[in-house]
Each structure stands twice: as structure tokens, then as C-alpha cells.
Structure 1
Amino acid sequence: MDPSDFADVLRSVREFVREQVVPLEDRIEADDAVPDQLRDACKAMGLYGFAIPESYGGIGLSMAEEVELAMELGWTTPALRSMFGTNNGIAGQVLLSGGTEEQRQEWLPRLASGEVVASFALTEPDAGSDPSSLTTKAVRDGDAWVISGAKRWITNAPLADVLMVFARTDPDAPPAKGISTFLVPTDAPGVSFGPHDAKMGQRGSWTCEVYLDDVRVPAAHLVGGEEGLHRGFVTAMKCLAHGRLHIAALCVGMSARLVHETVEFASAREQGGHLIATYQLVQGLVADSVTDLHAGRALVREAAKAYDDGSDRVTGPSTAKYFCSEAVGRIADRAVQVHGGSGYMREVPVERMYRDVRLFRIYEGTSQIQQVIIARGALGKAARG
């Protein structure tokens, strides 16, 4: 994208987030839902397709541009970004990474416009950090596939029109092999949903269990066609790497908001006849948070550059996701500490954000999974004995 055009996009998103979304944060928290006017505004701004190429109706941001956008989105509740995050990220990337051209032409323009909401149905009750152990199965039956299984904690599933379902198509293959991906419309017979989950934080972002009871889909709904058969695990890993870098940038945006809230409070709150900003122990907490913020921002930008030039699409995203998700947790904890008793009260932004950020260390690969990926990248075969 032309730099001046991208600057306009960032400016518009920044104004939208700070002027229209931030004032509604308490309502989103109380209602556990994002108001329709915000959803419609995001569609009009093209946010449902920022990572989808222009040839398919999206904005077509590079990863370097995408992380800058995610930092702006991180200034407010993560429920906003979650609305369109799956269309651009782990669900939309399935088609970009592994779909046929016919599948891309059919689905991506509708994802980019927001006409269709897609979900990434990978996680299962007994297959989370290790998706190779998934048990959902798909069996070929003439010109169709029959899918059976259950998925857990699937983002946007209650609102989705189509699911990217990962299922085992070769039960005799090694765990990481024999997995394929299917486009499953949510109105297909046999698809049902549990109630949306009651979570610690990130209210307004809906997840739920998905049940697949002998769901029949046409053979044409196998992502990648016959050539994509059994390549689901590889596709999932590519999509997760993209998603990890995006989540890292989102964490940086939330870190910036938390630092802002901390500085504003410390600069106005008096204790013992003095602003608490004058106390060196408070200054130390602020300094540590500012340092974490700057380090995370620099790491994300460097990792995005390497992702775009193709030199690192594995270790870089993992290092960024690991550091930034841990850092935003530290920053949120310090923010609550500086706020004192006020920071423990509902309807105070840092209290809500403290709960919101905890999830980033878990989904799209826990911090411990990122450690394994990073270490194996550095140690090579030695890490495997």
C-alpha cells in the first residue's frame, strides 16, 4: 500500500478506536457484546479484510503494516479486534495458505466485506497446545466427506457462517500427518453449538464449543482440493505463525494503553500531600513498564520485517508472541499496583485489562509452546536428542 494511503488508514482507525470505541468499553463489558454500530463501522472501514489481498476485495496489508494497525486496535478492548480477527487471521489465512483459487474466489471477497464471518475450528477438548492429537475425523463417502467430532473455545463460532474445520482423514498416518481442512457452513445439518463461554476476561469476544455430528460437505470443500489432502497440520502451523505475530502487536497496543493509564493516574493521584508520581518506587514501576513497551514494539517490528521478506516465519513470530504476551501481563500487574485499591475496582480500565491480557499467554500457542519452538529453532537436532 502507498505509504500516504496507509497513514490515512492508521489515522482513521486511531480516531475510530479512541473516539467511538473507548467510550463504549464499559457497555461492551456489561453486555458481553459489541454494539452493532461498531460492527457496521468496521465493515465500512474495510477492517474485515485488512490482511486479505486487494485482488480478493481486501486492503492487502503487508505484515509490517498489519502490526502497526494491530497496535492501534490494541488501545481498546480486544473484543473489537476479535470481531474481524478470524476473517483476516487464522481462518482467512487457511484459504490464502492452502486453498484452491476457486475456493479463494468464492470465499475471500465475502470475508473481506464482512458478509461472511469465518472461524478457525482446530482446538479440541483433548487437543490444545498439541493439535496433532486431534480426534475429529472425516471419512470420504462418494463425492462428499462426512465429519464427526467436537471443537472447543472456537472464537466467533456463535456468529460464524463458515468454519475451517481440521479433521483426521488418515487414521493410520503419524500424528502430525493425515490431517485435512474443510470448509463447513454453519447451517449444514449436523453442526451445532454450545452456549458461548463465560470467560475471565475479553467479554464481547464470543467463543463456544462446536459439535459435528456426521456433517456432510461436498468434496469441493476440502481446502486445497485433492492436492491439499492431509496437509491440514502444515496449513494450521502457517496460520498460527501469522496469528502469533498479530497477537504480539495487539499486546503492544494494549501495553501502550496500560502505560498511558498508569502515567495519567500517577500524575493526578495524591498521597501524603504529594503526587504519587514523585515517589521513586512508583517511578520504578513506570520505568519498567515503559521499557517493556519499547522492547516489545521493537521486537514486533523486526519480526514483521523478517516475516515479509521470508527470512523468518517461525522463530520470529514465536519470540514476539512470547515476549509481548508476557510483557503486557507484567505491565497490567504494575498498572493495578500503581492504582492501588482503585485498580482492583470494576469499571476501572486497568482492572478490566488485567483480566483481558491474561489470555494472550495461552491462546494461539501457550508461552511454553513458544519456548519450545524458540529453543528448537536455536538448538536444531540437539533439542530432539
Structure 2
Amino acid sequence: MSNLRQKWITAPLLKWIKKVLPPISDTERAAMEAGEVWWDGQLLSGKPDWDQLLEMGPPELSKAEQAFLDGPVEELCRMIDDWQIAQDQDLPQEIWDFIKKERFFGIIIPEEYGGLGFSPTAHAQIVTKISTRSTTVGVTVMVPNSLGPGELLMAHGTEDQKNYYLPRLADGREIPCFGLTSPEAGSDAASMVDKGVVCYEEYEGKKTLGMRVNWHKRYITLGPVASILGLAFKLYDPDRILGDEEELGITVALVPTDTPGVTIGQRHLPAMQAFQNGPNWGKDVFIPMEWIIGGQENIGHGWSMLMSALAAGRGISLPSLSTGGAKMAARTTGAYAHIREQFGIPIGKFEGVQRRLAEIASIAYVLDSAHQTTTRALDQGRKPAVVSAIMKAHATNGLRQAVNDAMDIHAGKAIMDGPLNYLGNVYRAVPVAITVEGANILTRSLMIFGQGAIRCHPYLLQEMEAATNDDEKAGVAALDALLPKHFLFQVKTFCRAVFHGWTGGLFASSPKGVGDAAKYYRQMNRYSAVLTLVTEISLMSLGGELKRKELISARLGDVLSQLYLLSAALKRFNDDGRPDGDKPLLEFAMRAGMHNIEVSLIEVFHNFPIRFVGQIMHFLTMPWGHSIRMASDRQARACAELIMQPSETRDRLTAGVFLGQEGDGIDLVEQAFLQSCETAPIRDKMKKGGVRALSESAIQEALEKNLIGEEEADKIRKTAAAVDKAIQVDHFDALK
């Protein structure tokens, strides 16, 4: 029976699969094989195991990590004058020295090599806090601890390389950069033209096996000040010195920047930011084989090494900067909306402003939740590649939305540059964050779902491997073993998705002990089932064509991304003990995310290349159309109030924000906010008596009417003075 099935069913099906499956390049395969499947796999299973997520618990810091945050990180933030850094286009020498002295460049390097040996959570919180003070300093600290020589050496270096370089990187004797991007090849590493040729050369007085390399790299962060360059290039062996192959693949080596033939170019000025960035070139640079990270045996493994590092690092660096920026925007904008008055009332009382405040608070809550969840997974040794791509794309995009809304609410306060403007540099940094480590457009359109659908599917990758097996008989046998399991998976997915789609998820399961949040878990299970079924149908009907339908892939990726972000928000709410004060934040975030999921799915159905298939999917999974509305005006008002009043929720939401040096912009707004809240009862008495202003004449009028006493009048004067200072903008001598 088995032989007959293989002959008449499996073998013809294998031929069909070979025709319809998308071709996978070597770079794509390396990217898909990097990292691992984690919660993203559960979300694309149609039935997530929530216990797996909730049992992880909240992120934790060791005593040493907390002490570092409270000590050197706090001290570094106090040293920073971000406006002066922007004017000088560099960090002052005292900050460079402090960063090196306190081993900020060695956050991830183990203690045995002289580093701090901190966890991903500590690494993330350090970058987050610094970024609330200065994106330039945040990037400077972030880069050596992200994708770069240190991480690659720890994972792939030889013992000699680790023993020499890691201590020097940890204490700042070496400043690293990494050269990947070329003018001809940004996100498409396969188009890299930087080339090395295997050869023998005279080196240090003896004939040495190595490579003669030529390259042109640009957009290299820390490049202008780096002493050691991690270099990616394509290696060739035309003389067959190493074997029968001429094209050996992408290789990564460490090259001291003072090596003959290396040229460090002038600086770029990325989006008016002050961090060091620039191009470099190599002209006939001889690189001995032992300079390859991991030695000669790692020739051709450079792309997989980079993808493996990126699978973790992309989930920490830019998400940390973005989370810090969003949290800072939430804290300062809530305070400013409380103290800034128009028409005699705080601008935070206007409904249009309240909606924007709610959106800022919601974004900060979701980003911080996803940030915590991702770093917790990294703490446990996971390398979730698809989740890291989700975090990079959606954290940076969330920052853009939060800062744009914050700028709108601050209005003139935010568009006049100077030391008092705490939003300007964050706003200018957004395009950089959006673009680097994989441009968001490509990440969204090609990577998240393109990798996720294959990596997370329980059988698809194995079926693809069977289809590409050179031994056709073995391929048929492998596929034959998978087909019954895949068919059963499809049947279960179909039943689950259709049932939950027609019943609106009312009968979906939820984990025990989650209280009022159970309704959200049920909806997450519903959307997970629907996404899984739509993925199955899309792959079966479009095959390899799905790879070229980038907008369909992008929308399905948006669904997967929202499921992850909302899962993290639910986990964070549970980790925090489900506080009542946080419920408005959770409700606003969940409604916004679920609404976006439904919009994305309906757009997939309406734009599906095979029209009747799209209509069938719509009928099966969302017969009633949109079922989730955005948060109501009442819910938005409740959410906005959380960041306009002192509370545990506000402090929890914005934990880790550096509140400023005495007298700087953030400090002035925060102090005015606290004084305004303290004197609110006095102001209320004045308003009831018909006195609304804070001017001296208004205070005198309130005194004459016996609405307030002298002590209260003095408090109002101090509040008025504090508010006046907080809303001021900088002004300078006229330009000549």
C-alpha cells in the first residue's frame, strides 16, 4: 500500500512541489537557518501554547547589573549634554574616556575576558536608559555590543583571537566597527562586489598564505574612529590553492585599520546625528588567513555567521533605542499636556490631544512589553530570528509614530531647536533607526512573513528539503512520511479557523488565571488559527508566486507581528500582577492591534491574486467583516489620563527614563508637572471662584475674594514660575 501511494500520489506531488515552491538562494537559506523558531512558531501553529509564554516570567537583573544601571549608567547620563554633542558632532573626550573606563563597550563580553558579562536584558536596559538621554551616546554604546567583532568573536573566534581581542575590546583599547554595506549592495549581500583572492605574499619576513582584498564600504558606524574593522567580502581562489572550488563565498575577517592599503574616509553625518559614521576602502590589502574570524575553516561561512549574530542582536539594539524614545515621549508629553494651557485649560483636556496621548502611551506600553519579552527569551539562550526582525521593524516604526504625535502636541516647544528641546534629536534619529540593520520596507515585505511562513511551519521546510533532495527516491520517501501529518494539520487548522471565525472567537480557549484578560487570549487564538489557515491556502494556491507578491506577504507579516506584540503585552500585564491601573493601557493597545490584524487580513482577501480564493478565505474566516472596533473616546481619555497624572502606572510605563539634570528641558517639565499636580486643588478653588489664570493679578484677585490664603498664593506663584520656565524655548544671537 505504501509503495502504491508513493508511486501514484507522492511522486507526482513531489514533482508539482518542485515546480511551485519558491527558489531559495544561498543567502536566503543562511538567513532562514540562522536563529531558531520560538513563540512565532506557536503563533503560526493555529493553537498557541500560552503556558509556554507566561511561564517564562518577567525579565530579571542580577545585583551587579542593577548596580551598574544605578551607578555608571546614571553617571554617564548626568555627564551628557546632548545639545553640545550635536554642535560638536562628537562626544567630548571625557565621555569617550568614561565609556572605555567603565567597560560600556564590553557589556556582552564575558568577565573572563575583562568584560561585564551582562545578560541581554541588562544590555537592553542600559541602551534604553542612555537613549532617553542621547541617541548619539546610545548608538555609540550600542554598536560594539550589537552586530560586530565582539559578538562574532565570542561565537566563532579561535581561542587566540578571543584571548587577544576580547580584553582589548572590553576596555576600549580597540574600538570596533563592522564593514558590511557597500554602495552596490545594501540589504542584498549577494550583490556584494568587495572581493578577496587567495594568494601567497611576503608578510613579516616570510611567505604567508592569505588573501588580497579590495573593498569599498559605507555607512559604517564608528568607522572614522575604529581601530579594528570587521570586514565581510566574497572570497575567490582562482589558482585553486585551497581546493577545487573557485568561489568560496562570503567570508569575515578582522583587519586593523592601520594595515597598509586601508583608507578611512571622511565622516558621514547621518540625519543630522552626531555619532561617528563613515566610509572606508581597501586597495590590495593583504590579509593573512589567521585574520579570518574562526580561522581558515570559516572561509565561506561569513553570511551564516552574520545572520546568526543578527538573529539576536537585532532584537536588542534598535528596539532598545526605540523603546527608550517612546517611553521618554510618553512621560514628557503627558507632563507637558498637563502644564501647557490654552483657552484657560490644559491642552491635555482637548479630545484631539487626548487621542494622541493615548496612542503614545499605548505604543510605549506595547514596545516595552515586546522588548522585555524578547530580551527574556534571549536571556534563556534563544535566538528568535523572525521575532528579532519583527522587533526591529515595528519598534522603530512605533518610535516614529510616538515621536510624531509628541511633536504635534508640543508644537512650537518641539520645533525650536536648542538645549531645552528634548524631542528634536530623537525625531531626527528616527530615519536612521528605520533604515539600518535591514530597511523596514524590505524587512516588512520580504523577511518577516517570507522567513516566518517557512521557518515556523511544522512541515513546510522539511517538504522543501525533500523536494530539493538529489536522491529522488529518498525525497519521495521523506515527503510520503510528512504528508499524512501535514494533511491532519490542515484539517485541524481548517476546522479551528472556520469555527472561531464564524463564532467570533467566543469559544476559543484561554489560559487559566488570567482574569479579565481572558477575552483577549481568546481573540489571539482566533487570529492565530485564521493566519495559519490563510498561510496554508496562500502557499498552496500561489506557491513560488507568493514570494513575488510582496504586499500580500507584508500584510500577512503584519498579522504575525501584531500577534507577537499583543502576546507580549498580555504577558507583561500578567507579569505585573494584572494591576487595575494598567487596564486602560492594555485595552487601548489590544483594540488597536486587533483592529490592525483585521484590516490586514481583509486587505489580503481583497487583493489576493486569485480573486475567488481571496473571497473564499474571507467567507471562511471573517464572514462578518470587522468585528473589533478601535478604542472608544472614553477609553482613550482614560488612557491619556494615566500619563497626565502621577501614578504607579505612569512610573511603571516610563521606568528607565533618565529624568534629566537639574535645569535641563526634561527636568524643568517634570518639576513643573509635579508642582502643578500638587497645587491642583488650589487651582480648582480659584476656578470655582471665577479665577482661571496664573498671573500675579489673578492671584491677587483670588486673595481678595478669599478663595486662597497667602501660603497657597505662594505655592501658586512658584508653580506659575516653574510652568513658565518649562514651556520656554531657546533663543540665540542673530546670525550674521
* Secondary structure, counterpart of 2:423 in structure 1: helix
Once the two structures are overlaid, the 10-residue window that deviates more, 314-323 or 256-265, is 256-265
The answer to whether the 8 Å contact 2:248/2:299 transfers is: no
Question: Which of 99, 106, 121 matches 1:64?
Answer: 121
Q: CA deviation at 1:355?
A: 0.7
Q: Which residue of 1 aligns with 2:160?
A: 102
Distance in structure 1 (CA, Å) of the matches to 2:336 and 2:61? 39
Q: CA deviation at 1:97?
A: 2.4
Distance in structure 2 (CA, Å) of the matches to 1:17 and 1:292? 27
Is 1:33 the counterpart of 2:90? The answer is yes
Count of residues in correspondence between the two structures: 381
Q: Deviations over 1:130-150 (max 9, x none)?
A: 122211011112222211010
Distance in structure 2 (CA, Å) of the matches to 1:193 and 1:207? 11
Letter of the structure 1 residue corresponding to residue 256 of structure 2:
P
Is 1:379 the counterpart of 2:453? The answer is yes
Task: Report matched runs for 1:77-96 at 5 Å.
Answer: 77-91=134-148, 92-96=150-154
The answer to whether the 8 Å contact 1:163/1:184 transfers is: yes
Distance in structure 2 (CA, Å) of the matches to 1:14 and 1:331? 25
Q: CA deviation at 1:368?
A: 2.5
Q: Which residue of 1 aligns with 2:225?
A: 159
The answer to whether the 8 Å contact 1:17/1:75 transfers is: no
Distance 1:141 1:356, change over 3 A: same
Q: Which residue of 1 aligns with 2:69?
A: 10
Q: CA deviation at 1:224?
A: 1.1
Letter of the structure 2 residue corresponding to residue 128 of structure 1:
G
Once the two structures are overlaid, the 10-residue window that deviates more, 83-92 or 353-362, is 83-92
Normalized per residue, the structure richer in helix is: 2
Question: Which of 413, 416, 421 matches 1:342?
Answer: 413
Q: Deviations over 1:301-333 (max 9, x none)?
A: 212222333444201211111111100000110
Question: Which of 207, 211, 215 matches 1:145?
Answer: 211
Q: Which residue of 2 aligns with 1:115?
A: 173
Distance 1:107 1:13, change over 3 A: same
Question: Which of 234, 237, 242 matches 2:304?
Answer: 234
Question: Which of 114, 124, 132 matches 1:75?
Answer: 132
* Secondary structure, counterpart of 2:314 in structure 1: helix
Q: Deviations over 1:58-95 (max 9, x none)?
A: 11112222222222122122211332333222112121
The answer to whether the 8 Å contact 1:127/1:134 transfers is: yes
Is 1:180 the counterpart of 2:180? The answer is no
* Secondary structure, counterpart of 1:10 in structure 2: helix
How high is the sequence identity, in percent, across the aligned residues? Answer: 25
Q: Which residue of 2 aligns with 1:19?
A: 78
The answer to whether the 8 Å contact 2:314/2:389 transfers is: yes
Q: Which residue of 1 aligns with 2:335?
A: 264
Letter of the structure 2 residue corresponding to residue 352 of structure 1:
N
Q: Deviations over 1:178-232 (max 9, x none)?
A: 00011111001111122101222322x1111111101112221011111111011
Distance in structure 2 (CA, Å) of the matches to 1:166 and 1:378? 26
Is 1:370 the counterpart of 2:443? The answer is yes
The answer to whether the 8 Å contact 1:322/1:367 transfers is: yes
Distance in structure 2 (CA, Å) of the matches to 1:384 and 1:17? 52
Distance in structure 2 (CA, Å) of the matches to 1:171 and 1:283? 64
Q: CA deviation at 1:286?
A: 1.1
Distance 1:212 1:148, change over 3 A: same
* Secondary structure, counterpart of 2:270 in structure 1: coil
Question: Which of 230, 252, 266 matches 2:323?
Answer: 252
* Secondary structure, counterpart of 2:310 in structure 1: helix
The answer to whether the 8 Å contact 1:171/1:178 transfers is: no
CA RMSD of aligned residues (A): 2.2
Distance in structure 2 (CA, Å) of the matches to 1:50 and 1:121? 21
Once the two structures are overlaid, the 10-residue window that deviates more, 87-96 or 24-33, is 87-96
Distance in structure 2 (CA, Å) of the matches to 1:131 and 1:308? 29
The answer to whether the 8 Å contact 1:289/1:331 transfers is: yes
Question: Which of 415, 424, 428 matches 1:351?
Answer: 424
The answer to whether the 8 Å contact 1:137/1:147 transfers is: yes
Q: Which residue of 2 aligns with 1:360?
A: 433
Output the TM-score relative to the length of structure 2. 0.50
Q: Deviations over 1:24-51 (max 9, x none)?
A: 1110011111111111111222211001
Distance 1:162 1:312, change over 3 A: closer
Distance in structure 2 (CA, Å) of the matches to 1:297 and 1:132? 34
Once the two structures are overlaid, the 10-residue window that deviates more, 38-47 or 121-130, is 38-47
Q: Deviations over 1:228-273 (max 9, x none)?
A: 1101111111222333112112210121122222123222212112
* Secondary structure, counterpart of 2:271 in structure 1: coil
Gap regions ≥5 residues in structure 2: 1-59, 201-208, 239-243, 455-459, 461-538, 546-736
Normalized per residue, the structure richer in strand is: 1
Distance in structure 1 (CA, Å) of the matches to 2:376 and 2:544? 29
Distance in structure 2 (CA, Å) of the matches to 1:57 and 1:88? 14
Distance 1:137 1:290, change over 3 A: same
Distance in structure 2 (CA, Å) of the matches to 1:374 and 1:177? 29
Distance in structure 1 (CA, Å) of the matches to 2:251 and 2:452? 29
* Secondary structure, counterpart of 2:185 in structure 1: coil
Letter of the structure 1 residue corresponding to residue 235 of structure 2:
T
Q: Which residue of 1 aligns with 2:653?
A: none
Q: Which residue of 2 aligns with 1:325?
A: 396
Distance in structure 1 (CA, Å) of the matches to 2:198 and 2:382? 38
Distance in structure 2 (CA, Å) of the matches to 1:103 and 1:56? 11
Distance 1:171 1:285, change over 3 A: farther
Distance in structure 1 (CA, Å) of the matches to 2:295 and 2:102? 33
